A and B are shown apart, each in its own frame.
Chain A
Amino acid sequence: MSKQKILKVKNSDVNSAVNDFLKELLKSGKLSALLVPQAVPSKKVVFPVLVSDPNKLDANVFAPLLPVSTAKMISKITKFQPSDKPIGVVIHPCQIRALIELVKLNQASLNNIIIIGVDCLGTFSVKTYTDLAGKKNPSDMIFDDLKSNTDKREQYMRSACVVCNQPVPINADIIIGVFGMDTSKEILIEATSDTGSKIIEDLKLDSAKDVKKREKHIKDLIDGRTKKLEAFIKDKKKHVGIDGLTSFFDKCVNCHNCMKVCPICYCRECLFDSSVFDAEAYKYVKKSESKGLFKMPNDSLLFHLGRMNHMILSCVKCGLCEQGCPMDIDLMDVFIPTAESAQKEFKYHPGKDPQEKVPMIVYREDEYVNVGEK
Chain B
Amino acid sequence: MLVWSDKMSEEKKSEAKDFEPKIVGFLCNWCSYAGADLAGTSRIQYPPNVRIIRVMCSGSVDSMYILRALLEGADGVFVGGCHPGDCHYIDGNYKARRRMVLLQNILDTLGLEKERVWIRWISASEGQKFADTMRDMTEAIKKLGPNPIAKKWNI
* A binding-site residues for B, Cβ under 8 Å: 240-246, 249-250, 271, 287, 290-295, 298-302, 305-306, 308-309, 312-313, 334, 337-338, 341-342, 345-346, 359-361, 363, 365, 367-368, 371-374
Contact = CB atoms under 8 A, between A and B. Distances in A.
Contacts of A342: 102, 105-106
Given A301-B71, A360-B99, A294 B106 contact: no
B7 interface: no
Contacts of A244: 111
A200 to B, nearest CB: 42
Contacts of A249: 155
Contacts of A243: 111
A309 B64 contact: yes
Given A244-B111, A302-B71, A372-B84, A291 B151 contact: yes
B110 A242 contact: yes
Contacts of A338: 105-106, 108-109
B94 interface: yes
Given A240-B111, A334-B109, A345-B102, 11 more contacts: A291-B150, A291-B151, A302-B68, A338-B108, A341-B108, A360-B99, A363-B95, A372-B93, A372-B100, A372-B119, A373-B121
A358 B149 CA distance: 31
Nearest to A271: B64
A296 to B, nearest CB: 10
Contacts of A341: 105, 108
Interface string B118-155: 01110000000000000010000000000011111111
A346 B95 CA distance: 13
Contacts of A334: 109
A360 to B, nearest CB: 6
Given A250-B154, A295-B154, A371-B97, A337 B109 contact: yes
Contacts, number: 122
Interface in B65-109: 67-68, 71-73, 81, 84-85, 91, 93-95, 97-103, 105-106, 108-109
Nearest to B58: A372
Q: Is the interface of B mostly helix, strand, loop or mixed?
A: helix
B92 to A, nearest CB: 10
B102 A292 contact: no
B66 to A, nearest CB: 9
A271 B65 CA distance: 12
A334 B72 CA distance: 22
28 contacts: A242-B149, A242-B152, A243-B111, A244-B111, A287-B72, A295-B153, A295-B155, A302-B64, A305-B106, A306-B64, A306-B68, A308-B106, A309-B64, A309-B102, A312-B105, A312-B106, A334-B109, A342-B105, A345-B101, A346-B102, A359-B98, A360-B99, A365-B85, A365-B94, A368-B97, A368-B98, A372-B97, A372-B119
Contact of A371 (B108, B110, B119, B136): B119
Contacts of B73: 290-291
B56 interface: no
Contacts of B68: 302, 306
A337 B102 CA distance: 14
B112 interface: yes
A360 B105 CA distance: 14
B105 A302 contact: no
Listed residue (B68, B72, B109, B112) with the most chain A CB atoms within 10 angstroms of its CB? B109
In order of increasing CB-CB distance, the 7 nearest A-B pairs are A241-B111, A363-B94, A301-B155, A342-B105, A294-B153, A295-B154, A306-B64
A372 B71 contact: no
A329 B109 CA distance: 17
B63 interface: yes
Contacts of A359: 98, 102
B154 A246 contact: yes
A335 to B, nearest CB: 9
A305 B85 CA distance: 30
Contacts of A294: 153-155
Contacts of B103: 309
A354 to B, nearest CB: 21
Contacts of A242: 110-112, 148-149, 152
A245 B71 contact: no
A269 B154 CA distance: 26
Contacts of B91: 363
Contacts of A298: 155
Contacts of A241: 110-111
Contacts of B101: 345-346, 368, 371
